[in-house]
Structure 1
Amino acid sequence: MSNQNRLLIYILTIGVFGILTTEMGIIGILPSIAEHFDISVAKAGLLVSLFALAVAISGPILPLLFSRINRKWVMLLVLGIFVVGNIVSIFATNFTILLIARVIPAFFHPVYCALALTVAATSVRKEEAPKAVAKVIFGVNAGMILGVPITNYIANQTSLEMSFLFFTIVNALAFIATLIFVPALPVKERMTYGAQISVLKKPVVWLAIATVVFIGSAFSSINSFITEYLEAVTNVTGNLLTLALFIFGLASLVGTIAAGNFLTKNALKTATIFPIVLGAVHLLSFITGKSLGPMMITILFWGILFAIGNNVSQYWITSAAPKSPDLANGLFLSGSNLGITIGTTVGGLFISGMGTQYVVLGGLLFLILSLISIVLRNYMFKHKAQLTS
């Protein structure tokens, strides 16, 4: 891999980290936002759910619309929109303005992420593509995983506005680096819209999409309110809360490595067992939630399984549509974010109706649904499920 290609991939990694941190970092400061704007935590959760809904809507559409434009200019456009949205968030005087400043950039989220994976794969020799893509995916996971504790720490040590400034700086760095160091990236090979969309005629793809949505819902129904859960149930606050979120994040990085090994050895078994194991951990959190030490151990398991679940979802949908990997990744982003919208909404309802401790019940419900959809695909399309195992 040449130095120029290596630099390009590092820039793409920073870019996806900034975008995913903007999306997920907000979870770590939902209670602070609720207090700042004098609203409920459930209402503040709209910053997560509506962002995810916008990604889910645009995921299969906008990447296709932008697929014929020079990739460098598309990346600059998306990063610029995120910078402006974050600047507006810093100075937002009410919750509605903050919500609008987040939702508009959210529509362009899948454009950059899908493009980053494609550019990483095509910028190197074919045999080096998996390694290049893995580095970009690491940026995605790092943004999803570490964005929460980093944002929470900044808000606790300084102010809510400074956490939005952090989002702005990361995206601005990616924008400047792209402008200066990334060469023009014209599109050389263009796959027709019809050829990509035709994959949606296959029932196995829709079962895979359902699985991705259910797994995403299971995660977000709890993870979107993890800060609230630790504060209200475990009585963890301040620096100890930040430590707990960092434990979750670091465990997730370990889970990312473990997931690759598990899926390589036996993908079908990993996918089938995953909802059962995570369900057991959800039950464990219901039991250990009020005890600091045991809950810290539970958070460790939460983090590991969070990363494994993301990898299972991505494998499950790309193995259902192996001839259309770009669209499959777009559907993965859409399905995951639709799951975030649904899960956050359901989690908020459990908190409002039963109390914060019972939010884990929503996660269990979606895990049961994901297990059913996985088993159903295994039974109905066993030959297709074996494609990449």
Structure 2
Amino acid sequence: MKNNRNPLLVYILTLGVFGILNTEMGVIGILPLIADQYQVSVSTAGLIVSLFALAVAVSGPVLPLLFSGMNRKKVMLLVLGIFIAGNLVSAFTSNFAVLLIARVVPAFFHPVYCSLAFSVAAASVSKEQSSKAVAKVFVGVSAGMVLGVPVSSLIANAASLTYAMLFFAAVTIVAFVATLLFVPSMPVAQRLSYGTQLRVLRRSVTWLSIAGVIFMNGAVFGVYSYLAEYLKTVTNYDWNTISLMLFVYGAANIIGNMIAGKLLAKHPSRTVMSYPIALAAVYIMLFIMGPFSMPVAFLILIWGILGGIGGNLAQYWVVSAAPEAPEFANGIFLTSANLGTTIGASVCGLIISGMSTKYVVIGGILFLLLSIAAIYPRIYMYDRIRRGRARGKT
């Protein structure tokens, strides 16, 4: 594949990843509208986020391995086609159960495309440029997770919920056509051994990394899943302002991605150690300042930057624990991150149902405390392993 480089390939992969993550997370900005249209509670509407993430978590370690021997272009077209069908059904169904099914079925194939996108991007360029290619694809992940939220909210507010759902389909259709026309056939020359990759699961440091990612992601997306509802009921923003704040969060998230690369390159352990403390401080201030519009707007900006940093931290935290099996590690990362989203959205939904939307940040703080319990032992264990390797080389 390196001998037949396609300058459009990485950008097409980025667009495809954006379409898939946009489908997953874009509905966060319209959960209250979904609840109204389908006549369910906001916490019940949150199932379309949590069950999607649960499906990704279940399939993450399995389906990428099962599809690893197939032509990569055919697999990508298959996954994009499934997402197009699911989005079209979601746009036109009037039954909430059908909506759930139309979202959960494609979700099982989410890790297949994303894992392929990372590995194909890396293989499409020289080894020296592979990290930059993967970073470009990761922009699609970040953009899909955050920018789709304000865009779908604006479309739903200006037109209708159906048009917001069709926006998800439109992005995926463009990625499908671009893949069909411009991506070359990519048969697999050599399959990776299952045993070699699965061996990384024997390590305690891997499982501590998984736990840390689950809790960090639960802390971010457990609260963020209900941000639109929080701004509506606690801060009393109108829908236009809510859409603007969701956009601010998304733009800040991209800034966080840029900052994270520099922080992880210089001080990875210190960055991960301080992250839960910084995010907890934002949540405490959000709880105190929730009714005040200007302080909340500032806190959303800071929260968005931290959210962007957190996504990069999570990917680094898992892959650095299994450097010899990066593709499998990326699958584990996707599983851990989405499991965290599932658990976080479910727990925070229960807090909203049992108390009120104002107290949703308590769930985030709880997950941050749990993340600290996983992060600090992992740092100690990983440093001990590195010292042992260094002694072995001398």
TM-score, normalization by structure 2: 0.96
| Residue matched to 1:295 | 296
Matched letter for residue 26 of structure 2: G
Q: 1:62 to 1:335 in 2, by over 3 A?
A: same
Matched letter for residue 263 of structure 2: F
| Residue matched to 1:248 | 249
Q: 1:372 to 1:232 in 2, by over 3 A?
A: same
Q: Does 1:353 align with 2:354?
A: yes
Cα distance in 1, alignment partners of residues 142 and 86 from structure 2: 22
| Residue matched to 2:86 | 85
Cα distance in 2, alignment partners of residues 90 and 377 from structure 1: 44
Indicate the SS of the match to 1:5.
Answer: coil
Matched letter for residue 323 of structure 1: E
| Residue matched to 2:258 | 257
Residues 101-146 of structure 1, C-alpha deviation per residue, up to 9 Å, x if partnerless? Answer: 0000000000000100000000111111111111100011011010
Cα distance in 1, alignment partners of residues 238 and 339 from structure 2: 30
Shift of 1:381: 3.4
Q: Does the 8 A contact of 1:320 with 1:384 survive in 2?
A: no
Aligned length: 388
Indicate the SS of the match to 1:320.
Answer: coil
Q: Does 1:61 align with 2:26?
A: no
Q: Does the 8 A contact of 1:268 with 1:386 survive in 2?
A: no
Cα distance in 2, alignment partners of residues 273 and 368 from structure 1: 12
Shift of 1:64: 0.3
Cα distance in 2, alignment partners of residues 109 and 120 from structure 1: 17
Instruction: List gaps (5 residues or longer) in structure 2.
Output: 389-394
Map 1:1-389 to 2 at 5 A. 5-384=6-385
Indicate the SS of the match to 2:147.
Answer: helix
Q: 1:226 to 1:3 in 2, by over 3 A?
A: farther
Indicate the SS of the match to 1:191.
Answer: coil
| Residue matched to 2:392 | none
TM-score, normalization by structure 1: 0.98
Shift of 1:288: 1.2
Shift of 1:206: 0.5
Cα distance in 2, alignment partners of residues 240 and 82 from structure 1: 30
Q: Does the 8 A contact of 1:319 with 1:385 survive in 2?
A: no
Residues 236-285 of structure 1, C-alpha deviation per residue, up to 9 Å, x if partnerless? Answer: 12211111111101111100000111111100000000001000111011
Q: Does the 8 A contact of 2:5 with 2:125 survive in 1?
A: no
Q: Does the 8 A contact of 1:155 with 1:162 survive in 2?
A: yes
Shift of 1:189: 2.6
Shift of 1:13: 0.6
Shift of 1:199: 0.9
Cα distance in 1, alignment partners of residues 371 and 328 from structure 2: 22
Indicate the SS of the match to 1:183.
Answer: coil
Q: Does the 8 A contact of 1:377 with 1:385 survive in 2?
A: no
- RMSD of equivalent CA atoms: 1.5
Q: 1:353 to 1:12 in 2, by over 3 A?
A: same
Residues 311-344 of structure 1, C-alpha deviation per residue, up to 9 Å, x if partnerless? Answer: 1111111111111111111000000000010000
Matched letter for residue 177 of structure 2: I
Matched letter for residue 83 of structure 1: I
Cα distance in 1, alignment partners of residues 205 and 28 from structure 2: 33
Q: 1:245 to 1:193 in 2, by over 3 A?
A: same
Residues 16-49 of structure 1, C-alpha deviation per residue, up to 9 Å, x if partnerless? Answer: 0000000000100000000001100000000000
